[in-house]
Amino acid sequence: MNGREIIACEECDLLQHAAPLTPGSSLRCRRCRAELRRGRSNGPEYALAFTTAAAVLLVISNVFPIVGLSVNGNLVQTTLAGSVRMLYSHGTWPLAILVALTTIVMPALQTLAMLWLLVPLHLGRVPWRAVEGFRLFQLARPWGMTEVLILGLLVALVKLAHIAKVVPGTALWSFVILMLLLAAASAAFDPREIWSRICTVGTGGRPWARPQLKLRRGAVTASAYGLALCEECGLLVRDPARSGAQACPRCKSHLHLRKPASLSRTWAYLLAAMVLYIPANVLPVMNTSSLFGAQKDTIMSGVVYLWTSGSWPLAVLVFIASIVVPMLKILGLVYLAVSTQFHSQWLPEQRTRIYRVIELVGRWSMLDIYVITMLVALVQFQALATIEAGPASIAFGAVVVLTLLAAMSFDPRLIWDGAERHHVRVE
């Protein structure tokens, strides 16, 4: 071994030499083109600054009103927590829990986890119970959807403007800045770099011991060498089946060559999502009562309303996020699961890109849920008009969650296992 660090790709399991990075550059897998590392300048320091500012704005965003509606001199305002309480009081408690988790709880936990890890490191100390801090961060990061909430608020404001005068609240602007800060903090927060610093501080500057091996020519995977990649901290560890170690020696998370029961869990989530996709698009997603009678709106009728009212860019946006994206996610995951189930060797790089896109766009289907939340919270003029969430909103929320869980359960390395034809020995 020539002293260069050897790393494994999280998406295709290919072993390759790490290369020195300059700030702003990135290291990509030479087989599937996944980003392996990104060069950062003072990443943890920047992450701490952004996270600290985000923590302050998180409080402001949840304390002050987010938007108000003025009708005949009466002003109805709501906070994000107030919107959740309104959903709960109307009996749609599954939707209330989903909105609370994705817009309040998870962003708060993500911010708390980053502060938990970054503040002690800034002071030159090893974070207390760092393993739990990282697990909290990994749990919260995929489910915090502040950016989708902002877009949902924009669509809701357009709809509310046709009902009464809209009064933007302090929390609305706070949420916009919070979205940018959380994105910047997540981009600067590299778990592997944080783990490297923790090990450096904890071992007095000595690097963490890595498996010794020689790379051979050709496409060679970590599993072929009997190595498992820890999904939490990125450490290469000897195969648990051979070494007897069931947990990562660095972060104590369970070790697996591949995600356990990946295809079975993916199929289970997908089948449930396909069943619920039908009522989510057929049943009313929103019930409106006014002086002119009652009206039941489906997702498609909401798109038509935005189009006919002149807001065609938002109509296209809602149509893509709420109808096209869920359907394509289901079809894409079915294609990946079927091709992997039959060990297909056809276009593995393209299939990996499909998986990457599904992971990227999956959360944006929550757009319609946040629109409904704002409308239900604000349009409560008993004498004039009221809006309540319909049964389809719960079904649609379940579809979004199930497709996200299906994408998380799927292991893209299985795509490449069918195409892998190299057999090497561990040295």
In 145-268, DSSP assigns E strands to 165-168, 227-229, 236-238
Please name which of 107, 126, 140, 139 lies closest in space to residue 194, comparing C-alpha atoms: 126
* Rounded Cα distance, 326 and 142, in Å: 17
pTM (predicted TM-score): 0.87
CA atoms within 13 A on the CB side of 217: 0
- Distance of alpha carbon 158 from its chain centroid, rounded? 26
- Write out the E strands in 344-391: 380-381, 385-389
Exposed/middle/buried for 128, CB within 10 Å: 0-12, 13-18, 19+?
A: exposed
Q: Which domains does the chain have, with CATH numbers?
A: 6-41+209-243 (no CATH), 258-420 (1.20.140)
What tokens does 67 get?
């938007």
What separation in angstroms does the CA of 248 have from each of 105, 181, 211, 243, 255?
28, 32, 13, 11, 6
Token pair 């396909």 is at which residue? 274
The alpha carbon dihedral of 246, 247, 253, 255 has a sign of negative
**Under a CB-based contact definition with an 8 Å cutoff, are residues 210 and 5 in contact?**
yes
Please state, as a whole number, how many other Cβ atoms lie within 10 Å of the Cβ of residue 382. Answer: 7
Contact 144, 182 (CB under 8 A): yes
CA distance 137 to 134: 5
Q: Where is 225: in which H helix or E strand?
A: none
Q: Is the dihedral of CA 359, 137, 25, 220 positive or negative?
A: negative
Measured between alpha carbons, how far is 32 from 194 in angstroms, rounded to an integer? Answer: 25
CA 229 – CA 413 distance, rounded (Å): 11
Please tell me the distance from the alpha carbon of residue 72 to that of residue 66, in angstroms, as a whole number. Answer: 20
Q: Which pLDDT does position 76 carry in this prediction?
A: 78
Q: How much is the pLDDT for 15?
A: 85
Give the C-alpha separation, 403 to 142, whole Å.
13
**CA dist., res. 240 & res. 124, Å (int):** 33
Residue with tokens 């011991």: 209
Q: Where are the alpha helices (DSSP H) in 10-42?
A: none
What does the pLDDT profile of the chain (427 residues) look like in tens digits?
445 678 888 888 888 888 777 777 788 888 888 888 887 667 788 899 999 999 999 999 999 998 888 777 677 788 889 889 988 988 889 999 999 999 999 999 999 999 999 999 888 888 888 888 888 998 999 999 999 999 888 888 887 777 778 888 888 899 999 999 999 998 888 888 888 788 777 555 455 555 555 555 555 888 877 788 887 777 888 766 655 557 777 777 788 888 889 999 999 999 999 999 999 988 888 877 655 556 777 888 878 877 887 777 878 888 888 888 899 999 999 999 999 988 888 888 899 999 999 988 888 888 888 988 888 887 765 555 677 888 889 999 999 999 999 999 999 999 988 766 544 333 3
340 phi, psi to nearest 5 deg: -75, -35
Name, in order, each residue with C-beta under 8 angstroms of 314's C-beta and a sequence gap of 6 or more. Answer: 154, 155, 158, 306
Q: Cβ distance 407 to 333 under 8 Å?
A: yes
How far is C-alpha 359 from the chain's CA centre?
8
Task: Say how far apart CA 13 and CA 35 lie, in whole Å.
Answer: 13
As beta bridge partners, residue 77 has: 68
Q: CA-CA distance, 376 to 366, in Å (whole number)? A: 16
